[in-house]
Amino acid sequence: MNDNSVPKILVVDDEPLNVELMEVYLSGDYEVIPAYGGAEGLEKVRTEDLDLVLLDVMMPGISGFDVCRTLKEDPLYQFIPVVMVTALSGKDDKIKSIEAGADDFLSKPVDRLELETRVKSLIKIRQLHTSLLAQRDQAQNYLDVAGVILLVLDKDQNVTLINRKGCEVLGRSEEGILGKNWFDSFLQPEKAEYPKKVFSRLLEGGIDELEYFENPILTADGEERLISWHNSILTDKKGNVTGVLSSGEDITERTKTEAALKDYAKQLEHSNELKDLFIDIIRHDLMNPAGAVKGFTDLLLKRGKLEDGDLRMLQAIKRTNTKLITMIESAATFAKIESVSEVKLKRMDLGGILNNVAQTLGPQLKGNRIKLNMSIEGPYPALVDPMIEQVFVNLLSNAIKYSPQNTCVSVEMEDLGREWRVKVIDQGFGILDEDKELVFERFKRMDKGNIKGTGLGLAIVRRIVDLHEGKVGVADNPNGNGSIFWVTLKKP
C-alpha cells in the first residue's frame, strides 16, 4: 500500500481509448497509471507502488492471463488485487481468469457503477490486508528484540515460530528452522529421547512439574549450548492443546561462570563480597531482559487487533515473565539478608507496621476476594529492624495467595510477657505435619494445586526472624481448614 492518501490503480490495455475511459471513470478518487501492453504493465508494477491492477485480457505479446499469473507467482506482488477486464463473456475465459489468480473480472463495455463498486471493495480489502501485515511485522519485531529465545512447537514437534534470538543461538536462518522437527534436527540424537518425553508429557497437561526445564541444543557449527526453558501450553478456542510455547535463555556461559564462582566461593568461604556479586548478577543481568520482555508484551497487548493465536502466545509470555520477575526479586532479597550478620534494633510499633502492610496488600486482597480481619488495637512496642515489615508482607501475601476466594484471613496479636506473638491465620489448603518444618527451607514448595511460589518467601521470613533472635512456626487452624503462621518478637 502506498503512503499517499490517494490509492494508485494501474490500467493495462492495448487500446488507448479504453485506458482513457478508465481514467475518466476513476480519476476523481484514484491516481490512474496507464500502460498500453502486458510488458509495459509488468514494468509499471515494478516501478510504481500500486494498490490495484485493471487488466485487459486480449493483448498482443503478453496476454492479460500471463501478466496476472506472473504477478500472483511473485511474493512481492501477489497480494495486489487484479481485476480482469474482457470483451469475452464465455465461461472458459472466466475460469482462465480465476486459474491465473485474478481477484475479480468485469465485462466490456464496463459499467461505471459496477467498476467503482468493485474497485472500492478491493481497495478496502487491500488496505486491511496491508494493515494486518504491518501489525504482524511489528509484533515479530518486538519478539525479535527480546533477549530470550521464543520457540513454538506444534503437536508433531515441528517448529512453527522462532524469533531472531533463537536463530542467532542456533546459527541458522529462520527458513532453515521453520517446519523442522525440533528434537531430530537441533539436539544430539543420544540426548533427544528425554526431551521428547518431556514434550509428550507437556502435551498431556503435565505443565506443573515441567514448567522449567534445561537441555543442550546443537548449533550449526556443532557446538552445544545449554538452554534453560520455561514452558507454556498453547490451546485453541475449545481448550484443546495445540502445541507448546517455550522461552529459553542461553545459560552456557552462565553455567560455566557459576561453576567457577563455586570454586571461588569455597576459597572465600562464602564472603560478603561474593554474595554482593550474586546480588548484582540477579538484579542486573536477569532483571534487564525480563523488564524488556514485560515492556514489549504490554505494548503489544495494548495495541490490540491481534489474531487469537498471537494473543494467546503474548498472554502466555506475560504470565511467564511475571513469574520470572517475582523469582528474581525474591532471590535478590534473600541474597541480601543472607549477607547480613546482625541488625540494629530499635523501638517500633508492630501495630503501625501491620496496618501499613495491610494497606499495601489491599489490591491483592480485593483481586483474590479475601476479607482481612485484623483486630490491632495497640500500641505493640517491639525491638525490631525496619526489615521486619518484609516478614509480615510475605506471611500475609502467602495467606491471601493460598486461600480460596470469599474466605477470611486474620491477624492476631498475643502477649507472651517478654515477647509478642504475631499470628496470621488463613483458611487455605493446610500443611501436613511432616511438611511444617520444610516450608521454611529454601526452594521447598508444598503441593498447593495450581499455585506456584518461588520457594523463597518463607525462607526470607525465617532468616529475618532469626536475625531478631525470635522464633517462627506454623500450626493447623483449629477452627477449620487452613494454617496459622506465627512469629515471636522481643518487647523493648
Give the C-alpha distances (Å, rounded to integers) separating 282 from 155, 265, 464: 35, 17, 20
Strand, coil or helix: what is 380? coil
Q: Please compute the mean of the pLDDT values over residues 68-90 and round it to a whole number.
A: 85
Q: Is residue 72 part of a domain?
A: yes
Q: Answer whether residue 368 shows pLDDT above 60.
A: yes
Q: In terms of domains, do 17 and 71 share one?
A: yes
Q: In terms of domains, do 56 and 99 share one?
A: yes
Q: Is residue 2 part of a domain?
A: no
pLDDT confidence of residue 323: 61
Counted domains in the chain? 3
| Alpha carbons 309 and 236: distance in angstroms, whole number | 8
Decide: pTM greater than 0.75: no
pLDDT, tens digit, 9 for 90 and up, residues 166-220: 888 899 998 999 999 999 999 999 988 988 988 888 888 776 667 788 889 999 9
Q: In terms of domains, do 150 and 279 share one?
A: yes
Q: Quick one: what percent of the chain has pLDDT higher than 90?
A: 21
Q: For 21-59, give one letter per residue: b (16+ CB within 10 A) or e.
A: bbeebbeeebbbbbbbbbebbbebbeeeebbbbbbbbeb
- Please name the amino acid found at residue 449: G
Mean pLDDT, rounded, of the chain: 81
Q: In terms of domains, do 43 and 174 share one?
A: no
Q: Is the model more confident about 174 or about 3?
A: 174
Q: In terms of domains, do 230 and 351 share one?
A: no
Q: In terms of domains, do 354 and 441 share one?
A: yes
Q: Is residue 327 part of a domain?
A: yes
pLDDT confidence of residue 330: 59
**Which CATH number fits the domain that encloses residue 213?**
3.30.450.20
Q: Is residue 467 part of a domain?
A: yes
- Please name the amino acid found at residue 94: K
Q: In terms of domains, do 254 and 367 share one?
A: no
In the listed set 282, 317, 338, which residue is the last one of a domain according to the structure? 338
Q: Is residue 138 part of a domain?
A: no
Q: In terms of domains, do 160 and 98 share one?
A: no
Residues forming a β-bridge with 346: 384
**Which CATH number fits the domain that encloses residue 77?**
3.40.50.2300
Q: In terms of domains, do 250 and 103 share one?
A: no
> Of 346, 384, 348, 374, nearest to 489 (Cα)?
384
Q: In terms of domains, do 159 and 113 share one?
A: no
Handedness of CA 404, 406, 407, 408 (dihedral sign): positive
Q: Answer whether residue 154 shows pLDDT above 60.
A: yes
In the listed set 338, 355, 381, which residue is the last one of a domain according to the structure? 338
Q: In terms of domains, do 74 and 167 share one?
A: no
Q: In terms of domains, do 386 and 452 share one?
A: yes
Q: Is residue 3 part of a domain?
A: no
**Which CATH number fits the domain that encloses residue 375?**
3.30.565.10
pLDDT, tens digit, 9 for 90 and up, residues 429-472: 888 888 887 887 754 555 444 444 445 778 888 888 888 888 98
The range of the structural domain enclosing residue 50 comes to 8-129
